[in-house]
């Protein structure tokens, strides 16, 4: 960061903790940036002339006489079309070196869109994955995370979804991404010839964790530029939000705040909501859709991070390893897309809602039958049929390696219904049954 | 002279101000940041320092910036023209804001000061009046909006003059009132009231004695909500809290609906913005939006204003109640409100209570719920505020402070069960955990005897018992296996399934099934109970299952058909046929 002529330099730091420094200074604004011993920092507390700064890269090596220079402004990002195709660090500096992008400087973490000016999301985002398109349809302007254990291929699925979705721009916000995963994303996008549609802000595990706090705001400021100014459909990928929350917890702990559930700060809900609520369908046709990853520990969704996330996002996609088929599937019970009602049966075939529900209900019956089997009871004929149905349903519809269009998904579901069940057992509205029940071959 | 002050400390949205004069707790002040004036509220005073929570982002604020105190608490502006508006938590009209983004310090008028209203006087010169008495009325949408003696007026007044019938602006003087000391006071159509105080200018608050019909079977039939009652809907995410609340908002037979979107998703509010202006209110033929006011503080809007939003909504509700109207207030979600309290308490470094919530959380919740109720106004008419809040318990665990505090005060409990949501049994209201205390009120029992049928509450209890017995049977079946129990157990279980599928479950997205009027509810409930009372003998459990599945399928088709239509009658016939076939089978 260049220094400006009129800036005062302070050299007397009074307090140093692992993540913060305090010093006496005047004329400092809340949230403004500073450089402390060459490292970027942000004002987090003002008390009289005592200023507390959070040093993003950690305070290692900072001495009481290190130079502190205040920038007089909050973190900003230069926005222009030149962002496309480039990789940045958490501060918005190009990763591969090179010049900073040209363009207007915008404050990151800006104000919210007036809810009254929003439009209702109504455009379906097709991914080809039936676990999503059939059961948990995603709509543009939606925010939805994958809930996954660390060993599951969530980054792969997310990259696949991003490339298949017809987005004008894809913005990747990587937080605590391993270098390997970062290279994976880079490769996949490159191979798909999609690099010119992609902007990345990446904090890898090699970088200090507190820097991550800037990544979502950077990514979303870029997204707002393309969506609001250019009217483009923007897809923002945020991985991994659990690591972002961990960084929040570190800072709040260093500031002696009283932790609430699971050592997370009491403001976790608001902090996460500020990010996710940037998802929007704008009146100019532009939209921001957010697909995020929240890693779980041992599938525990009651932990503060997935729990708060679930209350903010419009559903969640649950990855699970299905032992019957040996494939990774999108769990139909625990996954949910809250906005699917806006498109299913409207933008898709009329039978979509009922077929979806019937299939999930029958799949639930299979789960019951499985429990019975495990407890050593005899299975009825119906139970046996549900089990066979579940296996095929899982293999041909729920598995993440499926890539077909929604009409074909519906036809497949009807075929499975007819193969294993009677019309009474499927219990769908009669008119639909007459129209779509496969005729005897 | 207004008290002024200077900023001396900032942590997030809590600002410490050095003051030069008196300030009151909860007093409103404005923090000056360049050209922007940001509203804030005093939440603590220590010596000459006031701690204020700013209803905006404090980014860029400096130590030494100016603060000006207003001398009053946060107030709602009350007058004709509130209906169908979309306010933020501080009663700014969101529709009037011009830019796409909500800029800091944005302020818009809560009411339209230019339009005129057709006024009809109700009071006469010489009348003795007190606060909340009706002086006249104007027509707002189709509601007779009463112009009242302002709630802040204390004691008795004499009407010195009153405006003649005609068109007036809301700022015009509609009446002049003389107090006991002979001073005159002008009354316009607008009045202000501090939102955190209850409006208690009514004669008395009796126990609720009527039911508020919602068209949702599991509520009306099984756990009815009283007019002027309180209820809450806790449930893990994805259990359908919002869908259920929207269904109630669309169908409840209230005159006024106030939806408080408190710290929830913006897209859910957009859904109301988009759908309500299109939907008809079946009772009046007008659009739903015309009776609805939205208070909206979505999760990304400033936290302090979130706390204010529930109070603003409640105050508007109480205002319309004083006109003798039935008001229903829905707040989604009160947990977000409690979390806003927690964030504040945390930044003030107060000693925390359970889960870091403030110690007085349960008192705050209790006080708030107590503001609802049915009241007798000074003129003997009734008005009511019914309040239903949702609670979003952390981790779906109902043993957390917000749920527990709410449970102590709310009379209806609609527990949403994850298990039911997982198996798509919507609304996922648990039939056994949920309750309505109003079923125990003799007034309500008597009311239902007249409204529906003598002995109705006993029939409701019978249904609940059947569900309970079904659950017990199903536990036995799960332990001992399908063949390990007598077939009667299956019969018992499937009778409860019949009640579940036909009465408890309801398709909120089906045009017909979504709204089930009380006479249709009675018809279906009678029909189902009638089947449940019959004894069937089945060859084996599979035959039993097949029989009930067949019945459930027909009943469901019936729920999808227009009440009394040919289709409906045809399915009704099919039920008889199915039962006759079963009976004849048994006699063979």
Residues sharing a CB contact under 8 Å with residue B341, sequence separation 6 or more, in sequence order: B307, B357, B358, B361, B364
Q: Does A418 touch chain B (CB under 8 A)?
A: no
Considering only CA atoms, which of A21, A75, A279 is closest in space to residue B59?
A75
Residues A271/A207, Cβ–Cβ less than 8 Å? no
Residues sharing a CB contact under 8 Å with residue A284, sequence separation 6 or more, in sequence order: A228, A231
- pLDDT of A19 reads 84
Report how far residue A163's alpha carbon sits from residue A184's, in angstroms, rounded to the nearest whole number: 14
Considering only CA atoms, which of A18, A177, A162 is closest in space to residue A89?
A177
Q: Given an 8 Å threshold on Cβ–Cβ distance, is A267 in contact with B343?
A: yes
CB-count exposure of residue A411 (10 Å: 0-12, 13-18, 19+):
middle
Considering only CA atoms, which of A33, A28, A222, A244 is closest in space to residue A110?
A222
Q: How many CB pairs lie under 8 A apart between chains A and B?
A: 208
Contacts of B478 in chain A (CB under 8 A): 371, 375
Higher-pLDDT residue of B241 and B314 is: B314
Higher-pLDDT residue of A424 and B282 is: A424
What residues 193-252 of chain A have any CB closer than 8 A to a CB of chain B? 228
Rounded to an integer, the average pLDDT of B60-83 is 95
Taken in order of first residue, the domains within chain A and their CATH numbers are 9-70 (2.40.30.20), 76-340 (3.40.50.12240), 352-436 (no CATH)
Q: Over 50: is that where the pLDDT of A3 sits?
A: no
> Bridge-partner residues for B53, per DSSP?
B14, B41
Contacts of A426 in chain B (CB under 8 A): none
Write down the mean pLDDT value for chain B.
Answer: 93
Residues sharing a CB contact under 8 Å with residue B455, sequence separation 6 or more, in sequence order: B449
- Listing DSSP states for A263-279 in one string gives G-BTTHHHHHHHHHTT-
Question: What DSSP element (H or E) covers A105?
Answer: strand A104-107
Q: Does B398 touch chain A (CB under 8 A)?
A: no
Q: Over 90: is that where the pLDDT of B361 sits?
A: yes
Residues sharing a CB contact under 8 Å with residue A426, sequence separation 6 or more, in sequence order: A358, A362, A417, A433
Residues B513/B560, Cβ–Cβ less than 8 Å? yes
Q: Given an 8 Å threshold on Cβ–Cβ distance, is A74 in contact with B59?
A: yes
What residues 261-300 of chain B have any CB closer than 8 A to a CB of chain A? 263, 265-267, 269-271, 273-274, 296, 298-300
Distance from CA of B157 to the nearest CA of A (A): 43
- pLDDT of A4 reads 53
- Nearest CB to B481: which of A46, A258, A377? A377
R_g of chain B computed on alpha carbons: 27
Structure tokens at B6: 């200077």
Q: Over 80: is that where the pLDDT of B588 sits?
A: no
Q: Over 90: is that where the pLDDT of B170 sits?
A: yes
Q: Given an 8 Å threshold on Cβ–Cβ distance, is B300 in contact with A353?
A: no
Structure tokens at B314: 């409640």
What residues 43-102 of chain A have any CB closer than 8 A to a CB of chain B? 44-49, 74
* pTM given for the model: 0.90
Q: Half-sphere exposure of B40 toward its Cβ, with a 13 Å CA cutoff? A: 34
- pLDDT of B242 reads 83
Q: Does B196 touch chain A (CB under 8 A)?
A: no
A150-155 contacts at long range (C-beta below 8 A, 24 or more positions apart): A150/A295, A152/A319, A152/A321, A152/A328, A153/A319, A153/A328, A153/A400, A154/A239, A154/A293, A154/A295, A154/A319, A155/A181, A155/A184, A155/A185, A155/A239, A155/A293
Report how far residue A41's alpha carbon sits from residue A21's, in angstroms, rounded to the nearest whole number: 9
Report how far residue A398's alpha carbon sits from residue A363's, in angstroms, rounded to the nearest whole number: 11
Report helix, strand or coil for B109: coil
- pLDDT of B276 reads 84
Q: Over 70: is that where the pLDDT of A302 sits?
A: yes
Q: Given an 8 Å threshold on Cβ–Cβ distance, is A339 in contact with B483?
A: no
What residues 499-518 of chain B have any CB closer than 8 A to a CB of chain A? 509
Q: Given an 8 Å threshold on Cβ–Cβ distance, is B346 in contact with A141?
A: no
The CB density around residue B193, as the number of other CB atoms within 10 Å, is 21
Q: Given an 8 Å threshold on Cβ–Cβ distance, is A114 in contact with B263?
A: no
Altogether, the residues listed in chain A come to a count of: 441
pLDDT > 90: percent of chain B: 77
Strands A9-10 and B36-46, bridge-based pairing: unpaired
CB-count exposure of residue B74 (10 Å: 0-12, 13-18, 19+):
buried
Q: Given an 8 Å threshold on Cβ–Cβ distance, is B482 in contact with A301?
A: no
Contacts of A258 in chain B (CB under 8 A): 346, 349, 352, 356
Considering only CA atoms, which of B520, B478, B476, B471 is closest in space to residue B500?
B471
Q: Tokens 């006479």 belong to which residue?
A: B519
Report how far residue B255's alpha carbon sits from residue A142's, in angstroms, rounded to the nearest whole number: 33
Contacts of B94 in chain A (CB under 8 A): 114-116
Q: Given an 8 Å threshold on Cβ–Cβ distance, is B270 in contact with A120?
A: yes
Q: Which residue of B has its CA nearest to A303?
A: B395
Q: Over 80: is that where the pLDDT of B99 sits?
A: yes
> Bridge-partner residues for A177, per DSSP?
A204
Residues B208/B438, Cβ–Cβ less than 8 Å? yes
Considering only CA atoms, which of B165, B160, B189, B154 is closest in space to residue B176?
B160
Report helix, strand or coil for B529: helix
Altogether, the residues listed in chain B come to a count of: 588
Higher-pLDDT residue of A1 and B436 is: B436
pLDDT tens digit sequence for A372-415 = 888 888 888 999 999 999 999 999 999 998 899 999 999 999 99
Q: How does A142-172 read in b/e, with b if 16+ C-beta sit within 10 Å?
A: bbbbbbbeeebebbebbbbbbbbbebbbbbb
Rounded to an integer, the average pLDDT of B175-180 is 95
Rounded to an integer, the average pLDDT of B399-403 is 91
For residue A221, name the pLDDT band (cuts at 50, 70, 90): very high
Residues A87/A186, Cβ–Cβ less than 8 Å? yes
Distance from CA of A278 to the nearest CA of B (A): 8
For residue B142, name the pLDDT band (cuts at 50, 70, 90): confident
Residues sharing a CB contact under 8 Å with residue B73, sequence separation 6 or more, in sequence order: B24, B26, B27, B28, B41, B194, B195, B196, B197
Handedness of CA B417, B423, B426, B431 (dihedral sign): negative
The CB density around residue B38, as the number of other CB atoms within 10 Å, is 23
Q: Does A430 touch chain B (CB under 8 A)?
A: yes
Q: Does A378 touch chain B (CB under 8 A)?
A: yes
Q: Does A274 touch chain B (CB under 8 A)?
A: yes
For residue A1, name the pLDDT band (cuts at 50, 70, 90): very low
Cα angle at A105 between A142 and A34, to 5 degrees? 105
Q: Tokens 């391993």 belong to which residue?
A: A178
Distance from CA of A273 to the nearest CA of B (A): 6
Structure tokens at A431: 């008119």
Q: Which residue of B has its CA nearest to A425?
A: B549
Report how far residue B111's alpha carbon sits from residue A228's, in angstroms, rounded to the nearest whole number: 30
Most confident by average pLDDT, A232-246, A298-312, B343-357: A232-246
Cα–Cα distances (Å) from B509 to A342, A345, B163, B179, in that order, read 11, 11, 49, 56
What residues 18-57 of chain B have any CB closer than 8 A to a CB of chain A? 57
Report how far residue A163's alpha carbon sits from residue A171's, in angstroms, rounded to the nearest whole number: 12
Strands B134-140 and B166-169, bridge-based pairing: unpaired
- Nearest CB to A260: which of B303, B356, B395? B356
Distance from CA of B485 to the nearest CA of A (A): 12
Q: Given an 8 Å threshold on Cβ–Cβ distance, is B356 in contact with A259?
A: yes
Contacts of B309 in chain A (CB under 8 A): none
Q: Tokens 């208070």 belong to which residue?
A: B295
- pLDDT of A2 reads 47
Q: Given an 8 Å threshold on Cβ–Cβ distance, is A273 in contact with B57?
A: no
The CB density around residue A396, as the number of other CB atoms within 10 Å, is 17
Residue from A30, A301, A383 to probe the interface with B (highest B Cβ count within 10 Å):
A30
Q: Does B16 touch chain A (CB under 8 A)?
A: yes
Q: Given an 8 Å threshold on Cβ–Cβ distance, is B273 in contact with A257?
A: no
Q: Over 60: is that where the pLDDT of B91 sits?
A: yes
Write down the mean pLDDT value for chain A.
Answer: 91
Residues sharing a CB contact under 8 Å with residue A362, sequence separation 6 or more, in sequence order: A386, A389, A390, A393, A417, A421, A425, A426
E-strand stretches of B214-314: 225-226, 230-234, 256-262, 292-297
Cα angle at B582 between B577 and B586, to 5 degrees? 145
Q: Given an 8 Å threshold on Cβ–Cβ distance, is B100 in contact with A282?
A: yes
Report how far residue A365's alpha carbon sits from residue A387's, in angstroms, rounded to the nearest whole number: 8
Contacts of B484 in chain A (CB under 8 A): 377
Residues sharing a CB contact under 8 Å with residue A120, sequence separation 6 or more, in sequence order: A281, A342, B267, B270, B271, B273, B274
Residues B400/B394, Cβ–Cβ less than 8 Å? yes
Residues B263/A267, Cβ–Cβ less than 8 Å? no
What residues 517-536 of chain B have any CB closer than 8 A to a CB of chain A? none
- Nearest CB to A261: which of B9, B394, B482? B394
Cα angle at A325 between A320 and A327, to 5 degrees? 45
């Amino acid at each position: 960061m260049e220094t400006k002529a009129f800036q005062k330099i302070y050299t007397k730091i009074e307090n140093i903790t692992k993540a913060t420094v305090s010093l006496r200074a005047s004329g400092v604004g809340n949230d403004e940036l500073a450089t402390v011993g060459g490292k970027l920092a942000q004002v987090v507390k003002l008390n009289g002339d005592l200023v507390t700064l959070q040093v993003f890269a950690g305070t290692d090596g900072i001495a009481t006489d290190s130079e502190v220079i205040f920038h007089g402004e909050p973190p900003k990002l230069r926005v222009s079309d030149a962002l496309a195709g480039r990789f940045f660090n958490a501060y918005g500096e190009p990763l591969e070196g090179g010049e900073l992008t040209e363009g207007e400087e915008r404050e990151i973490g800006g104000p919210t869109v007036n809810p009254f000016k929003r439009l209702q999301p109504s455009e379906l985002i097709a991914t080809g994955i039936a676990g999503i398109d059939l059961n948990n349809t995603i709509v543009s302007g939606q925010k939805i995370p994958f809930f996954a254990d660390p060993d599951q291929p969530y980054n792969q699925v997310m990259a696949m979804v991003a490339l298949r979705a017809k987005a004008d721009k894809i913005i990747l916000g990587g937080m605590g991404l391993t270098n390997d995963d970062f290279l994976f994303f880079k490769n996949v996008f490159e191979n798909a010839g999609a690099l010119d549609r992609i902007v990345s802000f990446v904090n890898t595990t090699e970088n200090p964790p507190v820097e991550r706090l800037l990544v979502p705001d950077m990514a979303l400021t870029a997204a707002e530029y393309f969506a609001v100014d250019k009217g483009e459909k923007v897809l923002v990928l945020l991985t991994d939000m659990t690591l972002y929350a961990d960084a929040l917890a570190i800072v709040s702990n260093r500031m002696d705040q009283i932790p609430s559930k699971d050592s997370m700060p009491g403001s976790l809900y608001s902090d996460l909501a500020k990010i996710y609520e940037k998802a929007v369908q704008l009146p100019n046709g532009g939209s921001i859709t957010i697909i995020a990853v929240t890693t779980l520990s041992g599938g525990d969704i009651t932990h503060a991070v997935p729990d708060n996330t679930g209350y903010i996002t419009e559903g969640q996609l649950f990855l699970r390893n299905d032992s019957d088929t040996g494939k990774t599937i999108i769990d139909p019970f625990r996954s949910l897309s809250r906005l699917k009602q806006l498109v299913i049966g409207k933008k898709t075939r009329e039978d979509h809602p009922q077929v979806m529900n019937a299939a999930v209900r029958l799949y639930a019956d299979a789960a019951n039958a499985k429990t019975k089997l495990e407890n050593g009871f005899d299975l009825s004929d119906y139970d046996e049929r549900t089990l066979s149905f579940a296996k095929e349903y899982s293999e041909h519809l729920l598995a993440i390696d499926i890539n077909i269009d929604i009409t074909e998904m519906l036809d497949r579901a009807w075929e499975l219904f007819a193969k294993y069940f009677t019309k009474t057992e499927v219990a769908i509205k009669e008119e639909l049954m007459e129209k779509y029940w496969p005729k005897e071959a | 002279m207004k008290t002024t002050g200077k900023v001396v400390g900032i942590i997030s949205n809590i600002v410490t101000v050095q003051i030069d004069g008196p300030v009151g707790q909860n007093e409103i002040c404005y923090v000056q940041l360049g050209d922007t004036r940001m509203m804030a509220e005093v939440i603590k005073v220590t010596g000459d320092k006031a701690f204020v929570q700013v209803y905006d982002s404090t980014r860029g604020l400096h130590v030494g910036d100016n603060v000006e105190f207003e001398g009053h608490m946060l107030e709602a502006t009350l007058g004709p023209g509130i209906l169908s508006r979309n306010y933020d938590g501080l009663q700014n009209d969101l529709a009037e804001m011009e830019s796409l983004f909500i800029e800091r310090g944005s302020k818009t008028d809560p009411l339209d000061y230019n339009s005129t209203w057709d006024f009809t006087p109700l009071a006469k010169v010489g009348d003795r009046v007190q606060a909340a008495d009706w002086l006249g009325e104007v027509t707002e949408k189709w509601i007779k909006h009463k112009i009242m003696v302002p709630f802040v007026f204390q004691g008795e007044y004499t009407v010195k003059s009153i405006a003649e019938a005609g068109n007036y602006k809301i700022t015009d003087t509609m009446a002049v009132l003389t107090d006991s000391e002979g001073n005159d006071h002008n009354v316009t159509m607008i009045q202000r009231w501090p939102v955190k105080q209850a409006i208690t200018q009514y004669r008395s608050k009796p126990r609720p004695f009527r039911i508020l019909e919602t068209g949702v079977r599991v509520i009306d039939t099984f756990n009815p909500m009283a007019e002027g009652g309180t209820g809450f809907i806790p449930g893990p995410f994805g259990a359908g809290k919002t869908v259920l609340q929207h269904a109630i908002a669309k169908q409840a037979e209230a005159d006024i609906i106030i939806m408080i979107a408190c710290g929830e998703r913006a897209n859910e509010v957009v859904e109301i913005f988009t759908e309500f202006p299109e939907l008809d209110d079946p009772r009046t033929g007008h659009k739903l939006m015309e009776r609805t006011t939205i208070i909206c503080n979505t999760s990304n809007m400033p936290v302090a204003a979130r706390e204010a939003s529930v109070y603003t909504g409640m105050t508007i509700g109480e205002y319309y109640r004083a006109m003798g109207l039935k008001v229903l207030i829905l707040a989604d979600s009160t947990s977000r409100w409690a979390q806003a309290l927690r964030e504040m308490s945390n930044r003030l470094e107060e000693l925390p209570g359970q889960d870091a919530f403030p110690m007085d959380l349960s008192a705050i919740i209790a006080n708030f719920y107590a503001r609802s109720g049915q009241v007798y106004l000074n003129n003997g008419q009734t008005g009511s505020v019914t309040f239903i809040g949702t609670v979003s318990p952390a981790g779906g665990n109902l043993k957390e402070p917000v749920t527990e505090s709410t449970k102590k005060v709310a009379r209806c409990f609609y527990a949403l069960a994850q298990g039911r949501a997982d198996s798509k049994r919507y609304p996922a209201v648990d039939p056994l955990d949920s309750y309505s205390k109003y079923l125990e009120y003799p007034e309500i029992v008597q009311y239902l005897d007249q409204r529906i049928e003598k002995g109705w509450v006993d029939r409701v209890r019978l249904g609940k018992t059947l569900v309970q017995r079904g659950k017990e049977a199903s536990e036995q079946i799960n332990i001992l296996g399908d063949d390990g129990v007598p077939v009667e157990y299956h019969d018992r279980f499937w009778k409860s399934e019949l009640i579940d599928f036909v009465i408890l479950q309801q398709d909120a997205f089906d045009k017909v099934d979504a709204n089930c009027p009380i006479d249709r509810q009675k018809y279906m409930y009678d029909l189902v109970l009638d089947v449940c009372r019959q004894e069937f003998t089945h060859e084996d459990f599979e035959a039993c299952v097949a029989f009930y599945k067949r019945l459930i399928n027909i009943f469901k088709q019936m729920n999808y058909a227009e009440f009394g239509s040919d289709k409906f009658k045809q399915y009704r016939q099919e039920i008889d046929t199915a039962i006759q076939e079963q009976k004849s089978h048994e006699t063979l």
